[in-house]
Amino acid sequence: MRPKPTSPVPWGQPLKLLPLLAFFAVAAVLQSKGEFEGDGWRYLQNARNLLHGFFASPETLMFWNGPGYPLVLTPFLAFHIPLPLAHLANAVFLYLAVVHFQGTLRLAGVEKRSLAYAYAMAGLLFLHGPLLGMIMTESLSAYLVCGAAYHYCRAAREPGSRPHLILAGLHLGYLALTKVFFGYVLEVSIPIALGAWLWARGTNKGTVNDGAGNEKAGSGDAGRTAWTAGAVCALGLLVCAPYLAHTWAKTGKANLWGNAGGFQLYYMSLPEKEYYGDWLNFEAVLEHPEYFRNHVDFLRETLKLDFVSQDGVFKQAAVRNCREHPGKCILNWRANVNRMVFGFPNTYYPGSGADLATGNRAFVYAFPFALCLLLAVPGWLGRRTLPAWIHACLAFACISLGGMSLVCAIPRQVFPLLPMLGLWCAVVVDRTIRFQVGGTGDGAAEPG
């Protein structure tokens, strides 16, 4: 049996990872783009609104995103800090994400190779998309995911560790405020965690020994892990309660995380064969109506409404399309999954700006999924050699990816979850595969 670490480094080994901070900072400067690139204009507008005492304009009620990232941007606007420095903040967030990623690996018993895995994850994050130089949420989201995973694993591994339980909930709550999609993930995860806890109580096996002196995670460990997961998700929702109360007060709709989902569901349900369920540029659609004869009049009239009303109309249209063309909705869903994994197919029309992800970029997109697929069998066969909370992190990623596949999915949405996929892969390689070939591994943490 491997001894527990006597002095674990809670935050990984930041000094050994410090070159990444310099690299990310240089990349942020070299990739720097204007504030109107991507979704930057919207986050900056929300930040300006917050400085004036409100979040969404009363005239539009545009809750396309939560206040998490705009709150980060408010100091830059309030103190007139040059916006390019916000790009450097992206570098800091991504560096902290990798630091927490390595820290979680060490908690799972991966010691010697944790630094190499951390650098490999940093390379994957950098190659996955040129996001460091943009006013975008991805770097912050990746940090929040990794921070939540680290503190959650500490809380599950060390019963009674309330500070880590609270910190995990704070990270998850702020993640939902940054990318409101994760609010729905938290709501779905709570009953799943409750079900896992009830199952574990029913089996009540505790930890088991494989006969070779190695303890494996039994259902007792799984029960504690599931209870901790449910508690962390509940705390995350509690953090978001003021925001949900605000959207309820402004729109009259309970549990309104955002109102951008309606048009994404509508696009995902379009029945014509030339559409692949991806997002369509509103302005391009209206400027080139000849390419959207069946939809341009509907879109033109719907876009005159406020965003709350738009959301409802689009959802009704999406439901109608799915009822009338279920087969095409399934094909669009498959296209969504393909885009998450490979970056294509994309709908082409004048002004779309879609790029076909081929060659190296498609390889980068597909690599983490291919790796998970290759490790699926050894991961399953050796599942009891992994800490239960590593499985919980993978489950969170799978629930999130499953939800993403139902809307206009693109590789950028996968970005914050890459560390969770990488975490599971690294632990499987370092502990399960080495164990199966007779190695003892070099980790220091027990599976519980």
Coil, strand or helix at 72: helix
Strands (E) located in 80-218: 208-209, 215-216
pLDDT in tens, 348-377: 887 666 554 455 688 999 999 999 999 999
Give percent of the chain with pLDDT exceeding 70: 88
Bigger pLDDT: 175 vs 210: 175
Per the DSSP assignment, residues forming a β-bridge with 215 are: 209
What residues have CB less than 8 Å from 141, skipping those under 6 apart? 175, 178, 179, 415, 416
Question: Both tokens of residue 199?
Answer: 């199952």
Phi (first) and psi of residue 208, to 5 degrees: -125, 160
Cβ atoms < 10 Å from Cβ of 342: 18
Average the pLDDT over each of 8-22, 92-106, 305-319, 361-375 and give the range with the smallest value.
8-22
> What is the reported pLDDT for 222?
83
- Comparing CA positions, the residue from 260, 408, 403, 420 lying closest to residue 338 is 408
Q: pLDDT band for 64, please (50, 70, 90 cuts).
A: very high
Query: What is the average pLDDT across 439-443?
Result: 45
Query: What is the average pLDDT across 160-188?
Result: 95
Cα separation, 104 vs 174, whole angstroms: 19
Dihedral, 7, 162, 115, 118 alpha carbons, nearest 10: 180
| Residue corresponding to tokens 């975490």 | 423
Coil, strand or helix at 273: coil
Q: Is the pLDDT of residue 439 over 80?
A: no
Q: How far is CA 351 from the centre of its chain?
A: 28
Strands (E) located in 172-254: 208-209, 215-216
Cα separation, 448 vs 427, whole angstroms: 14
Give the burial string for 408-428 (b: 16+ CB within 10 Å, else e): bbbbbbbbbbbbbbbbbbbbb
Query: What is the average pLDDT across 194-209?
Result: 72
What pTM, to 2 d.p., does this model score?
Answer: 0.90
Q: pLDDT band for 384, please (50, 70, 90 cuts).
A: confident
Residue 94: which H helix or E strand, with range?
helix 84-107
Nearest-10 crossing angle of helices 418-427, 359-374: 50
Bigger pLDDT: 38 vs 62: 62
Residue-range domain boundaries for the chain: 260-448
Per the DSSP assignment, residues forming a β-bridge with 332 are: none
Per the DSSP assignment, residues forming a β-bridge with 208 are: 216
pLDDT in tens, 77-100: 999 999 888 999 999 999 999 999
Give the burial string for 264-278 (b: 16+ CB within 10 Å, else e): bbbbbbbbeeebbbb
Q: Is the pLDDT of residue 444 over 80?
A: no
Q: pLDDT band for 160, please (50, 70, 90 cuts).
A: confident
